[in-house]
Amino acid sequence: MSGPPRRLAEVYEPGRPGLPRGRSSLPAEVVRAEQRRRLLAACISAVAANGYAQTTVAQVVARARVSRKAFYDHFADLQDCFLSAMSDAQAAIVRELTELAPARPRSARAALRSGLGAYLALCAREPEYARCILVELPAAGPRALRGRDRGYRLVGDVLRAWREHAARRRPEWRAVPDEVYPAAVGAVAELILAHVLREDTARLPELLDPLTEILLRVLDAPLPPDPA
């Protein structure tokens, strides 16, 4: 069995063996979990490469090295597989952002930069995911857009928790409407989208300073620069 993928859309190398065919000594639940993992990763990879409208179930199962029957044991259709992949990927990203543990006490600005930097680095190393969530997801229909909205709100909740924590020492800060938080996530997404469309995601970490300032303004969180 292979370990967890190094990336969300890890593609299995040519010649790498698939799961054992027929009867296997592996427990059924292990086989099913590995099949699902392969299918989700392969779906992200296939959609990023071909576009959602041109992606087929046959392309996904070929990349995942599982049978077509296995695909339909897990998912109703391509849309079901793609949206499951996006949902799992979004959950992994939120988990990564919320589990950022500071090695030492940091200022509120430094904490925001750390979380934003982690997100930019993740998108830089996950260009397939970034393309799927920002470019291809709308092609999957209204259900997909509702899923993206949920993802924005999950990340928005991370920003809300950050601002509420920072505001405890700053009673002069005004409250902001709930809609500000997903709007802030959308603003970040739009700037990332420009790099995705240019196939220039490797340079996303260079956006850290300007995006930090944009978030501080959108969240109405006036913080002075940290001392050098």
The answer as to whether 15 is a domain residue is no
The CA angle 145-148-150, to the nearest 5 degrees, is 115
Identify whether the C-beta of residue 4 lies closer than 8 Å to the C-beta of residue 34: no
Domain that holds residue 158: 79-218
The answer as to whether 9 is a domain residue is no
DSSP 8-state symbol, 114: H
The answer as to whether 20 is a domain residue is no
DSSP 8-state symbol, 169: T
Q: What is d(CA 197, CA 104) in angstroms, rounded to the nearest whole number?
A: 37
pLDDT of amino acid 228: 63
The answer as to whether 172 is a domain residue is yes
pTM of the model: 0.78
The answer as to whether 195 is a domain residue is yes
The helices-and-strands tally (H runs, E runs) of the chain is 9, 0
CB atoms within 10 A of CB 136: 21
Q: Can you give the CATH number for the domain in which 148 is found?
A: 1.10.357.10
Note the helical H segments in 75-107: 78-98
Identify whether the C-beta of residue 185 lies closer than 8 Å to the C-beta of residue 214: no
Identify whether the C-beta of residue 39 lies closer than 8 Å to the C-beta of residue 64: yes
The answer as to whether 184 is a domain residue is yes
Average pLDDT for consecutive 10-residue bins of the chain (228 residues)?
A: 47 43 66 91 94 96 94 97 89 71 68 88 88 91 89 89 92 94 92 93 94 95 84
DSSP 8-state symbol, 135: I
The answer as to whether 105 is a domain residue is yes
Q: By C-alpha distance, which of 205, 117, 120, 215 is closest to 166?
A: 215
- Total structural domains in the chain? 1
The answer as to whether 38 is a domain residue is no
pLDDT of amino acid 115: 86
